[in-house]
Amino acid sequence: MDYQKILEEIHQEVLPLVDKGKVADYIPELANVDRNKFGIYLLTLDDNAYAVGDVLEKFSIQSISKVFMLALTISHLGEKVYDRVDVEPSGDPFNSLVQLEHESGIPRNPFINSGALVITDMMISSFADPRAEFLEYVRDLVGQADVFCNKKVAASEKEHGFKNAAMVNLMKSFGNIENDVDEVLDLYFEFCSIEMTCSELARAFRVFANHGRGVIDTKKYITESQFKRITAIMQTCGFYDEAGEFAFRVGLPGKSGVGGGIAAILPDKYSIVTWSPGLNKKGNSLAGMKALELFTTKTGTSIF
């Protein structure tokens, strides 16, 4: 299959959508991102790479980091992670407080903001230096050391993160946050502010496409059972309240972020990453969603 030709065709087809979405300007630092950017990067398990567009430019991965947060935490704590975070799709916006109040401070899943805040709290309780532990883990997945948090983006999120602060305080009132709320928020904002290129993110996600094992070094990051569960949560909860639409149109487990990135996998075959900062009303990349729909349609590859 001529993947390069297919990616080039997709690029041309989604160009009219690239400048139509809205950047995540509720995080002021992200309001400065050029919404005309677009990249798509495919990486196979046998180490073939295909790319079009702005695939070597760093961008804020935002909620995509929640996959790495969950993987690291579950590899350390095991199944008891799910005692404090559920695994159901939310059906509500990623920063909703309504369900959290109704369900006694237990987040619906680890990929909405409240769920990731609880995971962050677990990391603080589990690691002497969770910041260093997490960065080292992500750098290990990517296979390079120059992966960093963007301090300006993290500060911008903190300055305007009122709903996240409300969530963590609400969960604290229900006893589902063990540590200082400011410490949890600061660390969470830093994790979301990690920057990567499409190619770096594809390398990190290829580990998940390979059932939690490194492709080059064969290091085991998560067990087969943990891979199964994380992949299932990506499929059902990876796109906020648009997860069903993504499964219907694309058919790959993945995770989006309001920085405009989408990372997805076909287990045993490939990882694929798109980046286009213009978002639809649900907070997912407008051109990125369409690009991945076209990719699985043209290649006939999905989990279904």
Task: Indicate if 82 belongs to the active site.
Answer: no
Amino acid 267 reads P
Q: Is 240 annotated in some ligand binding site?
A: yes
Task: Indicate if 221 belongs to the active site.
Answer: no
Beta bridge partners of 42: 50, 272
Rounded to whole angstroms, the maximal C-alpha distance in the chain is 55
Q: Is 188 annotated in some ligand binding site?
A: yes
How far does Cα 42 stand from its chain's mean position? 17
Of 137, 221, 240, 270, the catalytic one is 240
Residues 6+ apart with CB under 8 A from 73: 81, 119, 122, 123, 126
Contact between 213 and 255 under an 8 Å Cβ cutoff? The reply is: no
Task: Give the tokens for residue 166.
Answer: 């409300």
Measured between its terminal Cα atoms, the distance across the chain in Å is 19
7 φ/ψ sector (left φ>0, alpha ψ -120 to 50, else beta): alpha
Helix axes 181-192, 151-159, angle to 10 degrees: 130
Of 37, 66, 158, 172, the catalytic one is 66
Q: Is 164 annotated in some ligand binding site?
A: yes
Task: Indicate if 3 belongs to the active site.
Answer: no
Of 67, 85, 258, 273, the catalytic one is 258
Whole-angstrom distance, CA of residue 68 vs CA of residue 201: 11
Of 18, 33, 50, 63, the catalytic one is 63
Task: Indicate if 137 belongs to the active site.
Answer: no
Task: Indicate if 63 belongs to the active site.
Answer: yes
Whole-angstrom distance, CA of residue 293 vs CA of residue 283: 17
Which burial class, exposed, middle or buried, applies to 258 when counting CB atoms under 10 A from its CB (0-12, 13-18, 19+)?
Answer: buried
Amino acid 144 reads Q
Of 188, 276, 290, 302, the catalytic one is 188
Q: Which residues are annotated as a binding site?
A: 63, 113, 157, 164, 188, 240, 258
Q: Which residues are annotated as a binding site for substrate?
A: 63, 113, 157, 164, 188, 240, 258
* Residues involved in catalysis: 63, 66, 188, 240, 258
